């Protein structure tokens, strides 16, 4: 029997080899790096946010196929969505979007982009709160 974790679907390999959202947004409001030391995955997400809507989203990655495909699928999903909608995506959503059984060891690969996104959103919110307080003074 083959190791199911190695049975990547064509969709995953396609996202891995031809990511739709690869790149770096220079004037991004959200810029967040995420690392999964277990696998060696290293990604950076950049998001352009206007009026709480994700106008554009890109990523650079030096990661395995699962992590890269997951990042690409995630960014496609959140483009045009509000920050609140992006935040409502769960780890289960991220894993099931891959449509393959993910072994416990690879779960961290699959959810790394989502965890990174949420970290980025959190610091973005903190920053905009600080900006609001400083402008009202
Ligand atoms: Zn990985």
Residues 29 and 65: their CA atoms lie apart, in Å, by: 27
Kindly report, residue by residue over 60-89, the tens digit of the pLDDT.
999 999 999 999 999 999 999 999 999 999
Tokens found for residue 19: 């990511």
For residue 25, report the distance from its CA to the centre of ligand 1, in Å. Answer: 24
CA atoms 41, 44, 49, 54: torsion sign: negative
Answer yes or no: is pLDDT of 137 > 60.
no
For residue 34, report the distance from its CA to the centre of ligand 1, in Å. Answer: 12
pTM: 0.90
For residue 50, report the distance from its CA to the centre of ligand 1, in Å. Answer: 31
Tokens found for residue 95: 């894993």
Which residue in the block uniquely carries the two structure tokens 């400083």? Answer: 134
Kindly report, residue by residue over 80-125, the tens digit of the pLDDT.
999 999 999 999 999 999 999 898 889 999 999 999 999 999 999 9
For residue 41, report the distance from its CA to the centre of ligand 1, in Å. Answer: 5
For residue 127, report the distance from its CA to the centre of ligand 1, in Å. Answer: 30
Q: Which residues surround ligand 1, an ion (CB under 5 A)?
A: 39, 41, 64, 67, 109
Q: What does the pLDDT read at residue 82?
A: 98
For residue 21, report the distance from its CA to the centre of ligand 1, in Å. Answer: 18
Residues 40 and 63: their CA atoms lie apart, in Å, by: 7
For residue 9, report the distance from its CA to the centre of ligand 1, in Å. Answer: 16
Answer yes or no: is pLDDT of 133 > 90.
no
Answer yes or no: is pLDDT of 130 > 60.
yes
Q: Enter the CATH code of domain 4-131.
A: 3.90.1010.10
Residues 134 and 128: their CA atoms lie apart, in Å, by: 10
For residue 39, report the distance from its CA to the centre of ligand 1, in Å. Answer: 5
């Amino acid at each position: 029997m083959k190791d199911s974790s190695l049975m990547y679907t064509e969709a995953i390999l396609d996202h891995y080899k031809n990511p739709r959202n690869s790149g770096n947004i220079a004037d991004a409001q959200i810029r967040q790096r995420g690392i999964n030391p277990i696998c060696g995955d290293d990604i950076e997400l950049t998001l352009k946010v206007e009026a709480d809507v994700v106008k554009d989203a890109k990523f650079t990655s030096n990661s395995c196929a699962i992590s890269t495909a997951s990042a690409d699928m995630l960014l496609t999903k959140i483009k045009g969505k509000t920050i609140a909608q992006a935040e409502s995506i769960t780890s289960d959503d991220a894993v099931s979007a891959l449509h393959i059984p993910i072994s416990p060891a690879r779960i961290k690969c699959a959810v790394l982009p989502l965890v990174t996104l949420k970290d980025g959103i959190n610091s973005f919110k903190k920053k905009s709160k600080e900006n609001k307080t400083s402008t009202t003074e």
